[in-house]
Chains A and B, each alone.
Chain A
Amino acid sequence: MNFHPRTLEHTQSDLDHVIPNESELTAGTLIEPGKSYGFFTDTTVCIGCKACEVACKEWNNLPADNLGMTGQSFDNTGALSANTWRHVAFVEKKGGCGVRADIETPYQSGWLMMSDVCKHCHNAPCLEACPTGALFKTEFDTVVVQQDICNGCGYCVPACPFGVVDLSANDGKAHKCTLCYDRLKGGLEPACAKSCPTDSIQFGELEILQARAQERVEHLHQRGVTDAYLYGTPGAPGSTGGLGHLNAFFLLTDRPEVYNLPVAPTRPANRVKPSLISGLAAVAGLALAATIVLASQERR
């Protein structure tokens, strides 16, 4: 078992203070402004315990929702929403005739679980759409909604290519994962990553995470899990169409759609210029036609 040597300085369980730079002990990384941070969610080790969902709700004081049963495997959460910022998806892969596959290959091949979260896109469509500046990039390269600015216009909701951002009926404002902005400020690892018992959710500096994820993919390929690939790293599915990389990226073993993720999402802001220019050109052409008609001699 390896642990950080500084751990020995904090052996009491009832601490009366926050451990300075605690993330160094729990995630092996210092949190410093100006660097890029993110999540690497390795779905091959997710056990579907939903500790991340609970830790997120607890830390962020999020209201309960979806108290009923969905009938969709163990997923009674359903989707990310204003009140749910981590969502564990459960996929029971089918064999023939709608029956679950009975031949199991290694690593969850018949039973996929994935803890979904806001992707904190490099070119974040929600941020680019926000007309008030409420959505912004933090000093940790994450995307956060400033609750004291948001006026609930709701434009970030259809802008998001992953269906993450949502308006709350409680306060009429947009909400989503903040990548625990408050905890990062205090040198703490985000709540979901800290609570994950299998390290399926790993928090850290983005470049280090990406390198670690690539190693993990190669390792899995060697072990015979040839379906493993990354979603959201530069050039991979998910970070397509001008979105850039995703700061929260995933290791998947089936097509993205199976996990409710798009293969090739695009950046909405790239559509602003073509539509504005062609619209204005059309109106200008019609105005020219109208001028000709109006200036013509009246028919008698």
Chain B
Amino acid sequence: MNFPVSSQDDAGQALQKYSEWDGSTYYGRAQLKSAPFENLVVGGYIFLAGLSGSAAILAALADLAGGKSAASLVRRGRYLGLLAPVIGSALLVYDLHTPKRFYNMLRVAKSTSPMSIGTWILVSFSASVGLSAAAQAASDFWPQQRWSGWTARVFGVPAAIAGMGMSTYTASLLAATSTPLWAAAPQALAVRFGASSMAAAASALSLGEPSDGIRPKLDAITGVALATEAVAAMVLHEAYGKMGVRDALDSPSGRLEKAGATQLGVVLPLGLLAVSALAGRHRRGGLSGLAALAVLAGSAMLRVSVMGAGDVSAERPDVSFRFTQPRNMPRR
């Protein structure tokens, strides 16, 4: 066993030629440190960020393309967008270990740090969705004046654009670490989080939807998003196996990911929505509502379980060493 010194480009290839890792670890001690995040708090934020971000997207789209019958959808979408700025940011500050210095996040903007990127996405989303929702509130209370509806529509556009970031940047936040399970498949994780956000927002909005014409449309959007999430989840699990990190799912968090996020959050509602669509417009309300609740619960469980399983992957040296074998090096 004799590692050669070579140029950086072929270091990985050169390493492959030499001895295989025999599974030895340093007394089974962790090689990495797991993130010091509180999984319920940060997982809760990721859920709310996706829900709010995608709700703002749907509100803007319904405003532009949905016609008059979508007025309630637009209004509730704008209000739902407030969840991340109001509750989500409070959760983030709570999770800091020196919370009184939260404003130091605003000192810099760094493209190498998804937490810095996310800070600025959250700031711009909060400002635009806040103004949009405030104008919406003004037009709800004083329907006779016109400027507020117009203001809500104008600020709804930047809110939707920032909302796209809110729906999915949290996957980059996890992927751009050395935690094996999070880093194993950056693209598939981002698609899964983005699709879950869209499904959650469409489901939440369908729960209070008064129009029988709009609710099936929201159910259709949920269905498309869930199908996307299912494909992303399959690709993700394939990558977990290939990168050697699947053992981290053999944990309570891994079982939550399987039973909660996938079965309850994707498979069950997809089935319910299919039955509901086949059943026609009679008796579809109950099934659709049940599906919406399952999607929301699954979307929250997805984030919490991925956080937890990531911690397991960082704490297990067999998983982290398998992940950092030369064969897993990015191809150039």
Contacts and interface: CB of A to CB of B under 8 A. Distances in A.
Given A236-B11, A264-B12, A279-B194, A157 B33 contact: yes
B57 to A, nearest CB: 5
A89 B33 CA distance: 17
Interface string B1-13: 1111111101110
B98 A172 contact: yes
A299 B2 CA distance: 71
A270 B175 CA distance: 10
Interface in B265-319: 281, 310, 314, 317
Query: Chain A: interface residue count, which band?
Result: 35 or more
B17 interface: no
B207 interface: no
A153 B232 CA distance: 29
Nearest to A159: B177
B92 to A, nearest CB: 9
Contacts of A196: none
Q: Most B CB atoms within 10 A — which of A131, A153, A257, A283?
A: A283
A30 interface: no
Contacts of A160: 32-33, 178
Interface in A273-291: 274-276, 278-280, 282-287, 289-291
B325 A264 contact: yes
Interface in A106-157: 125, 128-134, 149-155, 157
Contact of B29 (A159, A241, A260): A260
A67 interface: no
B25 A257 contact: yes
Using C-beta atoms within 8 Å of the partner chain, give the interface range for chain B. 35 or more
Contacts of B61: 287, 290-291, 294
Contact of A290 (B27, B31, B114, B198): B198
Given A157-B35, A286-B195, A289-B221, A240 B114 contact: no
Given A157-B36, A163-B31, A235-B7, A283 B178 contact: no
Given A159-B178, A268-B178, A276 B168 contact: yes
A152 B102 CA distance: 9
Contacts of B31: 162-163, 257, 260-262
A152 B213 CA distance: 49
B3 A155 contact: no
Contacts of A79: 29-30
A151 B183 contact: no
Nearest to B216: A299
Given A257-B321, A275-B176, A154 B97 contact: yes
Interface of B is mostly: helix
Contacts of B189: 275
Contacts of A268: 175-178, 183
Contacts of A194: none
B96 A152 contact: yes
A279 B193 contact: yes
B220 interface: yes
B171 A237 contact: no
B197 interface: yes
B113 A266 contact: no
Contacts of A171: 98
Interface stretch (B62-70, B123-131, B134-142): B62-70
A128 B178 contact: no
Given A240-B326, A278-B191, A283-B164, A151 B101 contact: yes
Contact of A272 (B27, B107, B176, B195): B176
A236 B5 CA distance: 5
Given A151-B98, A263-B325, A265-B324, A295 B36 contact: no
Given A266-B178, A266-B328, A272-B113, 11 more contacts: A129-B115, A134-B104, A229-B5, A236-B6, A241-B330, A268-B177, A268-B183, A275-B171, A278-B187, A280-B164, A282-B191
Interface of A: 70, 72, 75, 78-79, 89, 91, 125, 128-134, 149-155, 157-167, 171-173, 214, 217, 226-227, 229-231, 233-237, 239-242, 244, 254-255, 257-266, 268-272, 274-276, 278-280, 282-287, 289-291, 293-296, 298-299
Closest 9 CB pairs of A and B: A152-B97, A279-B190, A279-B168, A172-B97, A260-B26, A275-B186, A151-B101, A262-B324, A128-B112
